[in-house]
Every structure is written in C-alpha cells, then in structure tokens.
Chains A and B, each alone.
Chain A
C-alpha cells in the first residue's frame, strides 16, 4: 500500500492577535481559537489530491502534541485523511523532538512520502521537514509550490529567493509546502460526522522510543519593540522634501 504521512500541528488560529503573557512565560492561550497550522492544511490537501488522482492509497495524519490536538486530527479526518495518529506530548515541542517522533512513525508506516508545512505559525522555526529528511537520510524538497509524482521519483517546483527552482527527488522523500501549492478544501458537515468513525490512534513519545528531554529551552518571551509613530505629511511635495532632508532621496 502506498501511504502518505502528513504532519499536522495544532497552533493558535492565524486570525488571532497573539499576546505575550505579562510574566513572559508564554503567550495567552485561554479561550483562544486553535486550528491546524495553515501550511500543514495545504500539505494535507496536496496528499488528498494525490490520493484522489490514484497516485497514493492511504493518507495518514499525524500530530505531536497535547490530547486536545485530537480536535485538529478530527478536522484532518473530516477533510479526507483515512486515519490519524496522535503522539502525545505536552508543552512546547522542539522541532528535533517532532522530527524524531515523525521518523519513528516513518519507520513503522514506510510511507511513499511525508508532507508537512514549511513552518508552523507559532514558533516559526521551519525545521521539522528538513530535520526528518536528514535523520531518515532521504531527499527533501522544501517550499514546494508544485509536486508531480513520476514513478519512483517526484519533480518539485520550489519557491526560492531567486524565483522558482525545479528539482527531481527519488522516493521516498520529504516535502514541505509553500502557500501557493493549493487551496485547501472546506469541510462539509456530513464529512465531520463520518470522521468520528475513522480510526485515531493515540500513542506517546516514550512508546516510540523518543526521549522528550530537549537540549533547547525557551527561557522567556517578550513583546516586540514598538516603532515610534511618525508624522503625516500633507502632500507629495512635503514628502519629497522630508526624504531629501533625511538624505534618502536626491
């Protein structure tokens, strides 16, 4: 069976204005809406489309996170994933721990490829896919805006600083998604009902042989420095004069 493993992270919804707690211990999460990391949602959509084209047989959504991450996995199942796995872990999960957990799942499931977001919008580290590819010693195609499977390889268009780069990788491989890869589908109510009957296995880091101890800690969070509000000029002439005075225009 040709399986696809999709990484799903539970994060604060992208529409929420994130605030740092006054004591610097983290950000305010009480009563805050949580969602699937938007880049992971794109990854899931791509996996579903590849399965629907007949190029894969099973889509497995996997999350490393708290018990509540089952909500996001149920959403993934409602979108169309065939089954889900929650690797239970509390607190902030460093990228290396997530990558080791995914690597353990890869050894167990032997997927055709793994696909996940290029970054999670909470800690913005952007490492997990590349770490997994390195641990697994398999190819990586990051920041993908187009994925074409061709037999035992894939041709991937990547969004890089210079423009668009195309690379070819042998499978199995790890793909990370950029914004323009696709537009995820909306979940329909009957699918939410159906998703309740789909399998969702719960395991934990220890069961996968992953030690939770990290060599990396977040010591403190601070709000960012604010810029001083400037002045509003009355017209184009005044703007040009002000820029000349600052030496920014000739």
Chain B
C-alpha cells in the first residue's frame, strides 16, 4: 500500500479545483491510498469538499489559527510531521504548491519531482523541462519518500460523490513566527479563474495598448471565458502579470483557447498545448501559433473580433 498524502489548497472556505486533479494523479500511483490533508484555521467546509472527491480514502483536518492565510514556512512543518506514514506527498503545481512543497521536501530530506504529468510506477514519473521542449522520465530510488507537485493541466479532475471519513487531528510541532502575512490584492474576481476556466481568451502584443486590451476582456465576458495574456502583452503593460499564460506564467488546459494577436513564442505554446481546442486569430499567416492551432483565422483582429461577437 502506498499512502499518497495530497495537501489541500483552499481560500475563503473553498477547496481549490486543482485538488481534484491532484487526486487523479495520486490515484494513478500503483496501490494508492489517497489521503487529503486540510490545514486551516476553520476547515470543516473545505474538509467536506475534499471528502466528496471520488477516490479519496480519508481526509485529515488539522485546524490551527496560524494556518490561514497560508504561509509555506508555517504549513511545511505540519505537513512534514503528518507525512510520517506517507510514501508520497503531493501538492498542486500552483504558486501555493510550488512555494510549499520543496520546503516540505527539505524537512523530510526527500526528493521532489516538480510538475508531474504522468505516473509510470510508484517511483518513476514524467515531467516537462526546458520550457516544455523536452519531457524527462525521472526515477527516485525505491523506498525513498517522494514529494511532488502535480502539473494540473495534465490531469482531469476526479469526480465528486464520494463520502470519505474526516478525521480531526492536532499537530504537535512548533510553528515559526518569522514569516508574517501582510496582504493580498486580487484581480477582478467576477470572471472565471484563468487556471481552471473551461474557456480562455488571451491577447498578445498586437493589441497595441492597455486600452485596446479591453477588446479581449469584452469578448471573454461575451462567451463566459477567463482572460489571459502573452508575456509580450504583460511586459508591454497591456495586462497584469497574473494573466500571463506560458511557461513562466500559468500553464492551462481549457476546453477552448482563443489566442488573439499572439504570435506563439515557444514559451507561450508550452502553457497552452494541453488545451482541447486552440483557435488563433492573427494577421501574420506565418505566425508559429498557426502550427498548433486547430482553427486559424488570418486577418486584422480589430475587425475580426467584433465580427465574431456579432455572430453570437
């Protein structure tokens, strides 16, 4: 039996959608017993959501006022303590998981595999490197504990309808006070979340200005999509950084991805290649984005986008 401990990411009493994808990855480990760990100030609601994910065997709920808002330095010693029986400790490849999991690995003296996209055996995994230009098969010595972040774009969310038992536990470990949360400023929240949206519309450098970028936002709102941006558009100041899609931004896998005025630099393509359907709108027929697009439309985006909207 391999006990796979999945560390839950949550905010405002809601379990992050990435966790159901982590559960799919955890369940792919041979002979896995999937246990979700919820660390929270008040975590009953989050634990109940985790318990409903298909494939989850148990939910561990450890409540402590210091656990929210989440700080890696405060969570890591608790995860490490509770991982005593786990052969694998997984977290999502979000900024939460990327920050936390290596610190857990350090405390456990374990090897971490980042961005797991496939599980081959209990100790052999596949992950992207070189901005997605290569896929590495990596192996950890048998018997060594594996810490991993799960590349959420590579996994389908596990279903719901389960009813795993929730165990309340207390963690007896000193928590540091050297790291303190000050604030978080979130972007506009009435649009779907970029990381988990079924539809995404992204704008690139061809938009030409922050004012023109409103065209992308309007189109996205029209079809109920999240808004993304290429690195060029973010660097030029047309869109905030949290909208950046690509190897150095967010890696996403929506059902529908519409790239508007994006040429398709390799680092951008890496972030979208798991999208089900890619649509590209660009005036340059030679743009690399057309090499990966399922549907391409060549022309002036300022004319074409309103035309598309008028047909909806």
- Stretch with Cβ within 8 A of A (4 or more), from B27-35, B82-90, B105-113, B162-170: B105-113
Structural contact, A224 and B133, CB atoms closer than 8 A: yes
- Find the residue from A165, A173, A178 having the highest chain B CB count within 10 A: A165
Residues of A near B144 (CB, < 8 A) are 215
Residues of B near A18 (CB, < 8 A) are 130-131, 133-134
Residues of B near A130 (CB, < 8 A) are 72, 99-103, 106
Structural contact, B103 and A133, CB atoms closer than 8 A: yes
Residues of A near B296 (CB, < 8 A) are 230-233
Structural contact, B140 and A145, CB atoms closer than 8 A: no
A128–B105 Cα gap in the complex (Å)? 11
A211 on the B face (CB < 8 A): no
Nearest B residue to A250 by beta-carbon distance?
B312
A217 on the B face (CB < 8 A): yes
Of the candidates A131, A141, A161, A229, the one whose C-beta lies within 8 Å of that of B103 is A131
A126–B101 Cα gap in the complex (Å)? 10
Nearest B residue to A123 by beta-carbon distance?
B129
Residues of B near A168 (CB, < 8 A) are 179-180, 182
Q: Is the interface of A mostly helix, strand, loop or mixed?
A: mixed
A58 on the B face (CB < 8 A): no
Binary contact track A103-134/B, C-beta < 8 Å → 1, others 0: 00000000000000000011111111111111
Structural contact, A126 and B114, CB atoms closer than 8 A: yes
Structural contact, A121 and B279, CB atoms closer than 8 A: no
A20 on the B face (CB < 8 A): yes
A57 on the B face (CB < 8 A): no
A222–B137 Cα gap in the complex (Å)? 8
Structural contact, B105 and A134, CB atoms closer than 8 A: yes
Structural contact, A235 and B184, CB atoms closer than 8 A: no
Residues of B near A240 (CB, < 8 A) are 308, 311-312
B138 on the A face (CB < 8 A): yes
Sort chain A's interface into a size bin: 35 or more
**A183, chain B: closest CB distance, angstroms:** 10
Structural contact, B124 and A219, CB atoms closer than 8 A: yes
A128–B181 Cα gap in the complex (Å)? 22
A53 on the B face (CB < 8 A): no
Given A224-B135, A239-B297, A249-B223, are A163 and B99 also a contact pair (CB < 8 Å)? no
Binary contact track A139-160/B, C-beta < 8 Å → 1, others 0: 1111101000000000100111
A126–B72 Cα gap in the complex (Å)? 15
Kindly identify, within residues 208 to 226 of chain A, every residue whose CB is under 8 Å from any CB belonging to chain B. Answer: 214-224
A168–B182 Cα gap in the complex (Å)? 7
Given A123-B129, A221-B136, A249-B312, are A169 and B184 also a contact pair (CB < 8 Å)? no
Given A214-B111, A239-B279, are A221 and B135 also a contact pair (CB < 8 Å)? yes
**B218, chain A: closest CB distance, angstroms:** 15
Residues of A within 8 A of B (CB): 12, 17-20, 27, 94-96, 99, 121-135, 137-143, 145, 155, 158-170, 173, 178-180, 214-224, 227-233, 235-237, 239-240, 242-243, 246, 248-250
Residues of B within 8 A of A (CB): 11, 71-73, 76, 94-96, 98-107, 111-115, 124, 128-141, 144, 176, 178-187, 195, 199, 223, 231, 235, 240-242, 247-248, 250, 255-256, 266, 273, 277-279, 285, 290-298, 304, 307-308, 310-312
- In order of increasing CB-CB distance, the 6 nearest A-B pairs are A134-B106, A130-B102, A236-B307, A230-B294, A127-B102, A166-B182
Question: Could you list 10 further interchain pairs (A-B, Cβ under 8 angstroms) beyond the known A219-B138, A220-B137?
Answer: A160-B96, A162-B184, A163-B242, A167-B179, A216-B141, A219-B137, A221-B137, A222-B134, A223-B133, A236-B307
